[in-house]
């Protein structure tokens, strides 16, 4: 009898181990690559990871803090993430292998997931700095975003279109949004260029601490960039405390991107989960309210992932 009991115990343990192994094999991981915690990518990425974990069975999902666009795309190419947020111009540079933008080789594994919202290039200075125009940035201390980030590439493009370069500045800092703001508060920096959704937390924080000036980027300067991703736009009055008038600037679309190694079924479920839970996503940040399924493939500069294509055909976005 004892022998039979022992055999039964062994069989039971074996079955439990097998079941555990099968369960582990079925669990999938979705890592969403975002940006700095004081930007817009991060709260949107966190919201997406929560949606995926809730809506897709046997899924563990995380949101990873990164240096945003350029780093995100390099990580995707290496298979070290399943979804990432990126600026349109950085995505085009990565797909085409633009070495000047930091991409020595074409990132050919990238695949389209969805369009999202526009970034606005927001140049903000302390009122005490005396900066009122782009030309006033000469001889000043300016943070241009993390080196080789999407924001920093935007900074290079805008300064070049305005007939300037980093050599015209007294000091260039390559810092994330939050750190840039702290240095302005401490009078160690005069201005910061931040490419982000309207109402970004870092600039809101700065505007409550010191008097700010949102520096205009005239539409003729935007046109001189020579990249169709850069569109003339406006930062509406009262977006930030003390900003009482509309300010001209450049807007650049953002995209969600995946890679060719993510299974079709997984991407299909990810896209569906996102669009089935737009209310949750919209609550994460006001910029996310611009995410609309009808515009999901508008301006997409790379091929769609088959899973995303399947979903868009199913809902009639693609015919």
Per-residue model confidence as pLDDT tens digits over 100-153: 888 999 999 999 999 999 999 999 999 999 999 999 999 999 999 988 889 999
In a shared domain, residues 259 and 246: no
In a shared domain, residues 187 and 283: no
Report residue 253's pLDDT band, with 50, 70 and 90 as the boundaries.
very high
Residue 11 inside a domain? The answer is no
Residue 20 inside a domain? The answer is no
Q: Is 70 exceeded by the pLDDT of residue 10?
A: no
Q: Is 60 exceeded by the pLDDT of residue 45?
A: yes
pLDDT of residue 35: 93
pLDDT of residue 5: 55
Q: Is 80 exceeded by the pLDDT of residue 16?
A: no
Per-residue pLDDT tens for 61-78?
Answer: 999 999 999 999 999 999
Q: Which residues pair with 59 in a beta bridge?
A: 28
Residue 79 inside a domain? The answer is yes
In a shared domain, residues 223 and 237: yes
Cα dihedral sign, 194-198-200-206: positive
pLDDT of residue 12: 52
Name, in order, each residue with C-beta under 8 angstroms of 16's C-beta and a sequence gap of 6 or more: none
In a shared domain, residues 172 and 288: no
Residue 109 inside a domain? The answer is yes
CA distances from 226 to 9, 132, 218 (A): 73, 24, 14
Helix (H) or strand (E) holding 207: helix 201-209
CA distances from 179 to 38, 137, 203 (A): 9, 19, 11
Residue 21 inside a domain? The answer is no
In a shared domain, residues 203 and 277: no
In a shared domain, residues 165 and 226: yes
- Domain end, chosen from 199, 229, 251, is at 251
- In the structure encoding, which two tokens stand for residue 214, read together? 């949102």
Mark 168-181 as b/e (b = at least 16 C-beta within 10 Å).
bbeebbbbbbebbb
Per-residue pLDDT tens for 96-114?
Answer: 999 988 899 999 999 999 9
**Domain total of the chain:** 2
In a shared domain, residues 40 and 105: yes
CA 145 – CA 138 distance, rounded (Å)? 18
In a shared domain, residues 238 and 123: yes
- Domain end, chosen from 235, 251, 267, is at 251
In a shared domain, residues 49 and 192: no
Q: Which domain holds residue 85?
A: 29-118+253-314
In a shared domain, residues 89 and 210: no
In a shared domain, residues 34 and 77: yes
Report residue 25's pLDDT band, with 50, 70 and 90 as the boundaries.
low
Residue 15 inside a domain? The answer is no
CATH number, domain with residue 243: 3.40.190.10
pLDDT of residue 101: 86
Considering the chain, what is the average pLDDT of its residues? 92
- Domain end, chosen from 209, 234, 251, is at 251
**High-pLDDT (> 70) share of the chain, %:** 92
Residue 220 inside a domain? The answer is yes
Residue 22 inside a domain? The answer is no
In a shared domain, residues 258 and 114: yes
């Amino acid at each position: 009898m004892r022998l039979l009991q022992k055999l039964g115990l062994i069989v039971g343990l074996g079955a439990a181990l097998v079941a555990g192994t099968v369960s582990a094999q079925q669990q999938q991981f979705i890592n969403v690559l975002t940006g700095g915690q004081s930007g817009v990518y991060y709260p949107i990425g966190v919201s997406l990871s929560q949606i995926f974990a809730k809506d897709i069975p046997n899924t563990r999902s995380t949101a990873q803090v990164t240096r945003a666009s350029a780093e995100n795309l390099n990580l995707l190419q290496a298979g070290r993430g399943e979804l990432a947020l990126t600026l349109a111009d950085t995505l085009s540079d990565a797909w085409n292998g633009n070495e000047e933008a930091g991409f020595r080789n074409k990132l050919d594994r990238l695949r389209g997931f969805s369009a999202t919202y526009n970034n606005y290039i927001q140049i903000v200075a302390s009122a005490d700095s005396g900066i009122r125009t782009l030309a006033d940035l000469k001889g000043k201390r300016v943070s241009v975003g993390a080196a080789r980030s999407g924001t920093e590439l935007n900074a290079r493009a805008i300064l070049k279109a305005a007939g300037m370069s980093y050599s015209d500045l007294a000091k260039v800092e390559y810092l994330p949004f939050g750190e840039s703001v702290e240095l302005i508060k401490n009078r160690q920096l005069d201005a910061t260029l931040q490419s982000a959704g309207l109402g970004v937390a870092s600039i809101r924080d700065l505007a409550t601490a010191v008097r700010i000036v949102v520096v205009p980027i005239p539409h003729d300067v935007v046109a001189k960039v020579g990249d169709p991703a850069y569109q003339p736009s406006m930062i509406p009055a009262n977006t930030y405390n003390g900003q009482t008038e509309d300010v001209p600037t450049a807007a650049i679309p953002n995209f969600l991107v995946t890679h060719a190694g993510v299974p079709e079924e997984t991407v299909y479920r990810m896209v569906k989960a996102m669009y089935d839970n737009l209310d949750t996503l919209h609550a994460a940040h006001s910029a996310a309210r611009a995410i609309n399924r009808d515009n999901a493939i508008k301006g997409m500069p790379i091929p769609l992932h088959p899973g995303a294509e399947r979903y868009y055909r199913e809902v009639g976005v693609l015919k």
